[in-house]
Amino acid sequence: MSKRLLTAAIICRECSCADGGCCRSPTPETPGFPLSPAEVDRLAAYVHLADRPPGGGALEQIPSERATMTAPNSPEFLAALDALLPRHKQDIAALFPADGVYRKLRTMPSGDCVFRGEAGCRLPRDVRPWYCNLFPMWVRGEAVMLMNPDDCRLCQETRSPVAAMRLLDMTAADVRRLFAGILREWNLKP
């Protein structure tokens, strides 16, 4: 019997159909990766929510209830950001004060991301948040790594950054570029 050719698209489609994987959180209250104001703007333009007021305006002025939601800067959220971006603890504390909120992709009562479809994410890659395009890859120092969450089917199939990048049709340079996009949009130093 021949082994089936796996691609990231096949894995994502199967995962999305079965349990949602990275497109589902246990509850809508589960912390998610924060969206930068530029990411919110890209999503708003894509889903045709509304025009920004002339000259811009505050993030809260975008009627983005259909695509994004606010969540509290909970201790769990702040600890997760500190773990992902350990070199930026002071910047994270300034960007996300403990008594504030952040904006993330909206999740349905089921925990599904509003953009989850039968074949995975329904957003085009150029509109997706940086984190979504990067996951499950990450950068620590100069090293490209695999986050390796237990529920990620891509991680279960590959177990190495090189194999995951191959399936994702990415290079280490692509991963670093996406990671740099996250840092740039939050004004964090590389």
Average pLDDT over residues 69-76: 94
Other beta carbons less than 10 A from residue 177's beta carbon: 15
Q: Give the pLDDT of residue 65.
A: 58
Say whether pLDDT at 41 is over 70. yes
d(CA 9, CA 168): 8
The burial class, CB within 10 Å (0-12 / 13-18 / 19+), for 34 is buried
Under the banding of pLDDT at 50, 70 and 90, the label for residue 48 is: low
Under the banding of pLDDT at 50, 70 and 90, the label for residue 60 is: very low
Two structure tokens written together for 154: 């891509």
Under the banding of pLDDT at 50, 70 and 90, the label for residue 52 is: very low
Range 90-97 contact pairs with CB under 8 angstroms and sequence separation of 24 or more: 91/186, 91/187, 91/188, 95/186, 96/34, 97/73
d(CA 36, CA 41): 9
Q: Give the pLDDT of residue 83.
A: 93
Q: Compute the Cα dihedral for 66, 67, 70, 71 and give only its sign.
A: positive
Average pLDDT over residues 163-189: 93
Please, are residues 100 and 10 in contact by the beta-carbon 8 Å criterion? no
Please, are residues 66 and 106 in contact by the beta-carbon 8 Å criterion? yes
d(CA 18, CA 9): 14
